[in-house]
Amino acid sequence: MQFSKLLISWYKENARDLPWRETRDPYLIWVSEIILQQTRIDQGLPYYLKFATVFPTVQDLARADLDYVLSLWQGLGYYSRARNMHKAAKMVVEEFHGAFPATYSELIKLPGVGDYTASAISSIVIQEGNAVVDGNVFRVLARVFDIDTPIDTTLGKRQFKELAQELLDEKHPGKYNQALMDFGSVHCKAKGPLCVSCMFNESCMAYRLNKVDVLPKKQGKQKIRNRYFHYFIIKSKKGLLMYQRHHDDVWQGLFEFPVLETKEELSLEELTQLDAFKACFGDRNPLLLEGNIKHVLSHQRIFANFYILGGEVEPDILEKYQWRYYNSEKIAKLAKHKLIFSFLEKHRLL
């Protein structure tokens, strides 16, 4: 079976028309790769176009304020990607004199760039012979070659990387990598793969052994953690009270309402008896506006309640937690995570 030859032949007829494939600028290809990490193409495309327009060069991105970058990223999730993009842009300007790297050895030094991203960019831009391995590649190779090794183990990652490298078309590594990713995305799909019309169906081991639905294999899922957030909507003539999350946790650098986190779901009466609540708000009684909103992250489930709370907050509390009042015009420009943005939009607070 001439795996790479068949794959590239398929790609010539079925390649998707995507804007980042019209350039060999390593910066713009890097922008697309970072945006598409853990993001579908249809969801990531408008963000790529926005970033390519607002930040057409790495210098533009490096000069931008991080809060502005995060606001443009709003709604895409996994905000560490945006923070790493900003760090990487500054690094390119300061350490690479503004010339965006194209070799694997230099790309891998950038924040947020791993083996997959460095392999993809270097193979596409300068035809370095580095095979990519992502979810699509795992799926295609596991099925075609009947590989049972779990893909989320060190052994599995090494085994698939070695096989991908062995199969790589050395003359056209960039085209081969793109072909393999496209084939896994649109043909050898996780659900509903097009096996009957597949060019590999005569040689595909999973198809012959009726194992398509069970490959690739994973060792086990990470336990999902439940968290309980209680948000307080506090309004004055100066606007709504909000703050920016700074600690090393979800949504770092994004804005939200003052919040108390509890280990379990609490009633309103139980909440107001907490020492943390009394320290911030005294004996005031909040009114539940919206409750038990479920927001799922990769390894966390957030259960959120939103309360209206009247009265002024003591200046020392404002200073301690860095809570500030923002008017609606300013709030609209702040970078907010989806849970807060959806609440503001639903209750017409933007």
Q: Which of 59, 5, 55 is nearest to 31 (CA)?
A: 55
The residue type of 317 is: I
CB atoms near residue 105 (< 10 Å): 10
**Residues marked as catalytic:** 33
| Burial class of residue 269, CB neighbours in 10 A (0-12, 13-18, 19+) | exposed
| Burial class of residue 17, CB neighbours in 10 A (0-12, 13-18, 19+) | exposed
HSE-up (13 A, CA, CB side) for residue 333: 8
Q: Which of 31, 67, 65, 76 is nearest to 49 (CA)?
A: 31
Beta strands (DSSP E) in the chain are 225-233, 235-236, 239-244, 255-256, 259-262, 287-296, 300-308, 324-326
Q: Helices then strands (H, E): number in the chain? A: 17, 8
Distance CA 58, CA 119 (A): 20
Query: Which residues are CB-contacts of 134 (< 8 A; sequence separation ≥ 6)?
Result: 116, 181
Distance CA 168, CA 257 (A): 50
For 218-250, the three-class secondary structure string (H helix, E strand, C coil) is CCCCCCCEEEEEEEEECEECCEEEEEECCCCCC
Distance CA 27, CA 113 (A): 13
